Structure formats: structure tokens, C-alpha cells
């Protein structure tokens, strides 16, 4: 894969991989680091990509393995996570939250562009409507309307 092709892959897949890692890590800075490392590993070991799965799936698998490795290292060193789980929240609620998050990502994956990307940039990227509009070369109002439509599509797919 050429440098240019890899840059296109990075631009196309970064938010999807980052949002996946963010769901697992629940820590923005750790998710950013893991996502960057996943792309670096993918580029440096691209001959390991057999083409059996979608490139995003491959990148997410690399990222998940990197995150698991990091969690193991933290556990061996006896480090506590920065955010300790709230004991008031039961295990049942944590499982429900994780399941809901997974269902949202599955539904989001099925939404067509530009709705999916606008939603991801706004929610996971925490960008303003003005910034989202600038990325697409559109107006802030276009970004607001597109985001609203994306939310409606997501709710429809989730049966909410």
C-alpha cells in the first residue's frame, strides 16, 4: 500500500476506529493513543492483511488487541484506571450500557454517508456544527440538519 493510499484509508476510517476504541476504553486520551498505534501497526505490517475482512474490521481488531495488551500491562504494574467504576451502578447497568453502545454502533454502521460521518464527528469527535460544516465545505445549518436527520435514522434503525 502506498503512502497516499494509506493516508486515504486513515482519513476514511479514523473516526470509526476511534469511536470503537472509545467505546471499549471509555478514556479519550487512551482511545486516541490506541487508534494512532493501530494505524501505525497496520501500515508497518500491512503484509499481514489477508483481505479476508473489511479494512475497518482489521483496524478495529488491531486496536482491540492493543487495548487489551495495555490493560494487561496496567494490571501487572498494579495501576488503577483513572476512572474507577461507580459502585452505585450495578453490574447489570454496566452490561446494559455496553450492550446499548454496541447496538448504537451497529445501527450507525448501517447509516449511509454523509449522515454517519456527520454524526460521528459531532458525537465522538466533539466538533461544533460550524466545524463539521467546514469539513464538508458546507454551512453550519447544513451540518445541523444533516446531524438531526442522522439522529432520526439512527433512532429508526434502533426502533426507538
- What are the domain boundaries of the chain? 1-84, 87-160
CATH 1.10.1740.10 fits 1-84, yes or no: yes
Same fold, 1-84 and 87-160: no
pLDDT by residue for the chain (160 residues), tens only, comes to: 677 877 888 888 888 888 888 888 888 888 899 999 998 888 887 666 656 667 788 888 888 889 888 888 888 777 655 554 555 555 555 555 666 777 777 787 888 888 988 888 888 777 788 888 888 899 999 999 999 998 888 888 877 6
C-alpha 118/C-alpha 107 separation (Å) is 15
In 3D space, the residue among 39, 40, 23, 22 whose CA is nearest the CA of residue 31 turns out to be 22
The CATH class of the 87-160 domain is mainly alpha
Residue 129 grid cell: 456544527
Are 143 and 136 spatial neighbours (Cβ–Cβ below 8 Å)?
yes
Please give the model's pTM, rounded to 2 decimal places.
0.50
Report the alpha-carbon distance of residue 75 to residue 46 in Å, rounded: 30
CA distances to 8, 37, 135, 141 from 44, rounded to whole Å, are 16, 10, 28, 41
Eight-class DSSP state of 156: H
Amino acid at each position: 500500500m502506498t503512502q497516499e493510499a494509506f493516508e486515504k484509508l486513515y482519513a476514511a476510517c479514523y473516526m470509526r476506529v476511534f469511536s470503537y476504541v472509545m467505546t471499549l476504553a471509555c478514556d479519550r486520551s487512551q482511545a486516541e493513543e490506541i487508534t494512532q498505534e493501530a494505524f501505525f501497526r497496520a501500515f508497518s505490517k500491512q503484509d499481514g492483511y489477508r483481505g479476508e475482512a473489511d479494512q475497518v474490521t482489521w483496524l478495529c481488531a488491531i486496536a482491540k488487541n492493543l487495548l487489551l495488551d495495555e490493560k494487561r500491562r496496567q494490571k501487572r504494574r498494579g495501576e488503577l484506571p483513572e476512572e474507577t467504576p461507580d459502585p452505585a451502578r450495578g453490574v447489570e447497568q454496566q452490561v446494559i450500557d455496553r450492550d446499548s453502545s454496541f447496538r448504537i454502533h451497529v445501527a450507525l454502521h448501517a447509516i449511509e454517508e454523509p449522515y454517519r460521518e456527520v454524526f460521528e464527528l459531532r458525537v465522538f469527535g466533539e466538533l461544533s456544527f460550524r466545524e463539521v460544516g467546514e469539513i464538508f465545505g458546507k454551512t453550519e445549518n447544513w451540518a445541523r440538519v444533516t446531524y438531526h436527520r442522522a439522529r432520526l435514522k439512527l433512532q429508526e434503525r434502533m426502533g426507538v
